[in-house]
Amino acid sequence: MPQPSSDAELMALIDRVGRRDETALRLLYERTSPKLFGLAMRVVRQREWAEDVLQESFLTIWRAAADYRSTLSPPLAWMGLIVRSRSLDFLRRRTADRAQLTQEFDELMAETFESDAANPMDTADASEQAWALHQCLSRLEGRQREVLSLAYLRELSHGELAEQLKLPLGTVKTWIRRGLDKLRSCMQQFA
Amino acid sequence: MNLHAHPQLLELLAASHALGTLRGGARRRFEALAREQAPVRAAALVWQSRLASMAELQKPVVPDAAVWTRIRNLIAAEQEQEAIARQRTAPPPEAPARGGWLRSLALWRSAAAAGALATVVAAVIGLDLSDRLRNAPAVQYVAVLSDDQAAASMLVTFDPKKRQLVLQRVGSYREGEDKSLQLWALPPGGAPRSLGVLGRDPALKLTAQEADVRSVPALAISLEPRGGVPSERGPTGPVLFKGALIEKTL
């Protein structure tokens, strides 16, 4: 089990990657790939697809590392954004039939609901911000948390969420608004 | 719009933007404001960063080792492409009146693997190939495949007339009895494609079309079980040698 890496260590590795250090990329991969692969799996659902996404993500990381510092993001958050973007690109490129997409969505929904509720987070291995987010998300009502997670992971609009969850548009908007509001006041305490 | 007077609204917009539910015209207007006003940009970045922490909340899943192999190959191909681009913009040397193929090796000195190429020039001359190379067919593509220590191990040329890849072992590496070396093309942004399995002779020929090598920035050789592996799976063994595939300019 690899040692948990501090933000400072990861940022130093990303800097080295920006200077074309391949060893640094391998070290970065070893320390972060399980979490990033887990994220890719959450969004695209199938292992082979998640592998493609992870490969494309690391190529993007290799290309963009030199500009990382200007993003002001914590390292895993930056890498997570890349993985999420590549995952969503992948899903958009696929010409899947609606039935399969709906089934994947249902599975994603079920997992979201259980995992965020009862996930004892490994606190030694998380950035402060992730810990804060985890705390604040767990204080939301299940439905609000579900809808926020789905909106983020799958980048769905209000209308798409309403359609997939079979809810009135107004209800979805209200849940998101209330959820974001609670999230905001909670996270401001941690700021 | 003066968002300074409406901090709650700014927070909600920034949060919705990061979440992805802010769409269309509203999204574009918000992004325009973020570009113009620092407090709006700050709120946008704070929320983007907060939500991006969701990446860390996912259950970790360890990917197969093959995934890293493929990433390494993608990076190698990327680097060779950059090296080729740098070489193409480098000033050309004075055109030699004679010497032909060997003299044009001087073009390669600006490439990233300068050390390896110098080794190869020495090795090639040392092996007394110079005579044979002066009478060589008009080759258009050349690659020098080196190992991790930048020591040249394989010289690859493509002969479009005979539609052949000609490989010459210049290092001392010999694969074991139960293993084979397999040559792969590394196209940019795509999976490695097998060009063939190498036999045990010092000089070998593989059938190939020009399409197989055109726009391929790099080649690699991996160590596989005897007989090689199917192309679709990609290399299963370690990549021993790799190098840029250079289109030789006459």
d(CA B39, CA B21): 21
Q: Are residues A7 and A64 in the same domain?
A: yes
Q: In the prediction, which pLDDT does B132 show?
A: 47
Q: Are residues B9 and B41 both part of a single domain?
A: yes
Q: Locate the chain A residue with the closest alpha carbon to B18.
A: A152
Residues A116 and A191 in one domain: yes
What pLDDT does A144 receive?
Answer: 85
Give the DSSP per-residue string, A42-86: HHH--HHHHHHHHHHHHHHHHHHGGGGGGG---HHHHHHHHHHHH
Element (H, E) at B240: strand B239-247
Please tell me whether residues A90 and A77 are part of one structural domain.
yes
User: What are the backbone dihedrals phi and psi of residue B168, each rounded to the nearest 5 degrees, phi first?
Assistant: -130, 125
Checking if the pLDDT of B175 tops 60, the result is yes
Q: Are residues B45 and B134 in the same domain?
A: no
B239 pLDDT higher than 70:
yes
**Does residue B38 sit in the same domain as residue B134?**
no
The last residue of a domain, from among A58, A74, A95: A95
Residues B84 and B175 in one domain: yes
C-alpha distance across the termini of chain A, in Å? 31
What is the average pLDDT across B218-234? 86
> Which pLDDT score, from 0 to 100, does residue A65 have?
94
Q: The domain spanning residue B110 has which CATH number?
A: 2.60.40
- Are B104 and B174 part of one and the same domain? yes
Interface ipTM = 0.73
Do A103 and A180 share a structural domain?
yes
Find the mean pLDDT for residues B27-35: 90
CATH code (residue A150)? 1.10.10.10
The residue among A38, A61, A95 that closes a domain is: A95
Of B23, B53, B71, the CB nearest to A58: B71
| B62 in contact with chain A, both atoms CB, cutoff 8 A | yes
- pLDDT at residue B67 above 70? yes
For chain A, say whether B71 makes contact (Cβ under 8 Å).
yes
CB atoms within 10 A of CB B127: 13
- Selected for mutation to probe chain B from A25, A70, A81, A153 (highest B CB count within 10 Å) is A81
Distance (Å, rounded) from C-alpha B13 to C-alpha B27? 9
The answer to whether A41 and A86 are in contact (CB under 8 A) is: no
Inter-chain residue contact B51 with A54, CB threshold 8 Å: no
Same domain, A100 and A160: yes
Burial B51-84, CB ≥16 within 10 A → b, else e: bbbbbbbbebbebeeebbbbbbbbbbbbbbbebb
Residues B88 and B34 in one domain: no
Q: Give the pLDDT of chain A (191 residues) as one tens digit per residue.
A: 445 678 889 999 999 999 999 999 999 999 999 999 999 998 888 899 999 999 999 999 999 999 888 776 788 888 998 998 898 888 877 755 455 556 666 666 666 555 554 455 554 556 677 778 888 888 888 888 888 888 888 778 888 889 888 889 999 999 998 999 898 888 888 76
Q: Does B20 contact A51 at a Cβ distance shorter than 8 Å?
A: no
Does one domain contain both B108 and B166?
Answer: yes
Kindly determine whether residue A33 and residue B63, on different chains, have CB atoms separated by under 8 Å.
Answer: yes
Query: Are B144 and B34 part of one and the same domain?
Result: no
pLDDT confidence of residue A100: 58
For A177, how many CA atoms within 13 A lie in the half-sphere containing its CB?
10
Instruction: Please name the residue of chain A whose CA is at the shortest distance from the CA of residue B20.
Output: A155
Question: Domain range holding B30?
Answer: 3-57
* Total of domains in chain B: 2
Tokens in use for B246? Answer: 């250079």
A40 and A88 housed in the same domain: yes
The count of domains in chain A is 2
**pTM for this model (two decimals):** 0.53
Residues B44 and B75 in one domain: no
Task: Find chain A residues with C-beta within 8 A of B25's C-beta.
Answer: none
Q: Do the Cβ atoms of B235 and B184 come closer than 8 Å?
A: yes
Q: Any idea what the Cα angle at residue A55 is, between residues B15 and A109, rounded to 5°?
A: 45
From the CB of residue A92, how many other CB atoms can be counted at a distance below 10 Å? 9
Query: Is B57 or B92 the better-scoring residue by pLDDT?
Result: B57
Choose one of A80, A95, A110: the last residue of a domain. Answer: A95
Give the CATH number, domain containing residue A6: 1.10.1740.10
| B237 and B150 in a common domain | yes
Token pair belonging to B94 = 């004075």
Beta bridge partners of B239: B222
Calculate the CA B62 to chain-centre distance: 25
Per-residue pLDDT for B66 more than 90? yes
B19 vs A13: which has the higher pLDDT: A13
Do A116 and A137 meet the contact criterion of CB atoms below 8 Å apart?
A: yes
Compute the mean pLDDT over every residue in chain B, rounded to the nearest whole number: 76
The CA distance from B123 to the nearest CA of chain A, in Å, is 28
pLDDT (0 to 100) of residue B140: 65
Say what the pLDDT of residue A37 is.
95
Interatomic CA distance for residues A44 and A48, integer angstroms: 9
Residue with tokens 């370690």: B238
Answer whether A85's CB lies under 8 Å from A67's CB. Answer: no
Considering the domain architecture, whether residues A190 and A125 belong to the same structural domain is answered as yes
A133 and B51: CB-CB below 8 Å?
yes
Which pLDDT score is estimated for B58?
Answer: 79
Tell me whether residues B78 and A176 touch, CB distance under 8 A.
Answer: no
Q: Domain range spanning residue A146?
A: 96-191
Q: List, as ranges, residues 47-86 from A with C-beta within 8 Å of B.
A: 50-51, 54-55, 58-59, 62-63, 72-74, 76-81, 83-84
Preferred mutation among B9, B10, B13, B71 to probe A, highest tally of A CBs within 10 A: B71
For residues A38 and A113, state if they share a domain. Answer: no
- Clarify whether residues B139 and B23 are in a common domain: no
Higher pLDDT, residue B12 or B172: B12
B69 with B169, same domain?
Answer: yes
| DSSP letter, residue B171 | S
pLDDT score for A27? 96
